[in-house]
Amino acid sequence: MSQKLTIRDLDLRGKRVLIRVDYNVPLNTKFAVTDDRRIRATLPTLRYGRDKGARMVLMSHLGRPDGKIVEELRMAPVARRLGELLGHSVQYTRDCIGEDVLRHSKELRAGDMLLLENVRFHAEEEKNDPDFAQRLSQLGDVYVNDAFGTAHRAHASTTGVAKFLPAAMGFLMEREVEALSKILKNPERPFAMIIGGAKVSDKVGIFENLIASLDMLLIGGAMAYTFLKVQGLSVGKSKVEEEKLDLAKELLSKMEKRNLLLKLPIDHVTASVSLKPSPPTERFVRKKEIPENEFGYDIGPETVKGFEEALSKAKTVLWNGPLGVFENVLFEKGTREIAEFLAKQKGMTTILGGGDTAAAIAQFKLTDRMTHVSTGGGASLEFLEGKVLPGIAALTDKK
């Protein structure tokens, strides 16, 4: 990837700075933000802009309104929460384009912030419509993309606008690119990857892209049961991707040829009922194989011990995907104990993917004790697969 402009390279004083942020945050029934991590992650960029005398126009999506106005997905609660975090009011408009919005952007004073309405209320956003992008671009003199979580989407507000304005990355985007690039280019060794989550198919790109540079691979989560079934072990009623058994077999063969240290679960936390319609209230610890009438929901204590022993030798750890159903207190222990172990290590670089991994670490209140926790689930996944992210590619190259 060629070097891109950053916000430091722009003259911001008195300029209208159009900033793409990722404020796709959860709201409760009272329309209050329940998790503001993504908002907090952009504060360094916004404070820098304010210090430099910029007039900032922020745009984001919220949820999936599919090109229609959905009252429950308006950005007003987000504007309120952002104002609370910054300690000053943030202005808000009930649309993201139009003459009134344009006039509002021109009336901003140095240090002011204006949050636009949900860009996905317009179907043209996800279609990357050039006319819509051009209308958005009229709201700024320069463009800053600080929304890593949407960098893998070629939408009007993430790539289209960059065709009309000088385009740079904000501090959040810069941190993400630097942290993930180091993993791809020059990880300090030994280099370990912990991979979890539901599906082998979701992570095959990371396997393929990183397998040549890994020293050890630890597999947990529901995807582990597909690999264990390939090895001939009983996994009971656990989630298995039957159509991906051949793929799992092929991946195991590649790991063996690489002489990679591979760790799969050797014991399991199980329950005799499905997670739905009502969650289990019981748990069992099973060695090696799972009885045919039980579901595997977490790695067991012996697996945790083996994982920790392997990780104690690592200098760099990349973690993508939880190791169990961490949302349920009965099945969070495996993910929690590995997270707590990593948090205690000195001199270790710990890079965690976004999405469920970031949610788990936040639940355990360990985010600040990791080297880097990504704000992007799909974006971090695609970046680590070696793909070019449209939202980064569209930014202006440094001369």
Catalytic site includes residue 55? no
At residue 147, what are phi and psi to the nearest 5 degrees? -115, 75
Host H or E run for residue 202? helix 200-210
Question: Is there a shared CATH topology between the 7-171 domain and the 178-384 domain?
Answer: yes
Host H or E run for residue 171? helix 171-185
Which one from 182, 199, 258, 369 is the annotated catalytic residue? 199
Question: 178-384: which CATH number, 3.30.450.40, 2.40.110.10, 3.90.1150.10, 3.40.50.1260?
Answer: 3.40.50.1260
Domain ranges of the chain: 7-171, 178-384
| Full pLDDT tens readout for the chain, 399 residues | 459 999 999 999 999 999 999 999 999 988 999 999 999 999 999 999 999 999 999 999 999 999 999 999 999 999 999 999 999 999 999 999 999 999 999 999 999 999 999 999 999 999 999 999 999 999 999 999 999 999 999 999 999 999 999 999 999 999 999 999 999 999 999 999 999 998 898 888 999 999 999 999 999 999 999 999 999 999 999 999 999 999 999 999 999 888 899 999 999 999 999 998 888 999 999 999 999 999 999 999 999 999 999 999 999 999 999 999 999 999 999 999 999 999 999 999 999 998 899 999 999 999 999 999 999 988 999 999 999 999 999 999 998
pLDDT at residue 139, as a whole number: 98
Residue listed under structure tokens 């021109």: 106
Decide: helix, strand or coil at residue 63: coil
Host H or E run for residue 144? strand 142-145
Catalytic site includes residue 386? no
- E strand intervals along 207-336: 216-219, 261-263, 267-271, 284-287, 295-299, 316-320
pLDDT at residue 1, as a whole number: 44
Strand-strand pairing, 267-271 and 284-287: antiparallel
pLDDT at residue 166, as a whole number: 98
CA distance 131 to 149: 24
Architecture of domain 7-171: 3-Layer(aba) Sandwich (3.40)
Task: Specify the pTM.
Answer: 0.92
DSSP state of 276: S
Which one from 83, 111, 205, 378 is the annotated catalytic residue? 378
**62, 118 Cβ separation under 8 angstroms:** yes
pLDDT at residue 354, as a whole number: 82
CA distance 197 to 324: 8
Which one from 16, 20, 38, 263 is the annotated catalytic residue? 38
CA distance 34 to 26: 6
* Residue among 371, 324, 323, 377 at smallest CA distance from 349: 371
- E strand intervals along 257-380: 261-263, 267-271, 284-287, 295-299, 316-320, 349-352, 372-373
Decide: helix, strand or coil at residue 359: helix
Listed in sequence order, the residues at least 6 apart from 29 whose beta carbon sits closer than 8 Å to its beta carbon are: none
Catalytic site includes residue 4? no
| CB neighbour class for 221 (10 Å; exposed up to 12, middle 13-18, buried from 19) | buried
DSSP state of 397: B
**325, 276 Cβ separation under 8 angstroms:** no
Which one from 149, 196, 324, 355 is the annotated catalytic residue? 355
pLDDT at residue 75, as a whole number: 98
Strand-strand pairing, 316-320 and 349-352: parallel
DSSP state of 4: B
Catalytic site includes residue 355? yes
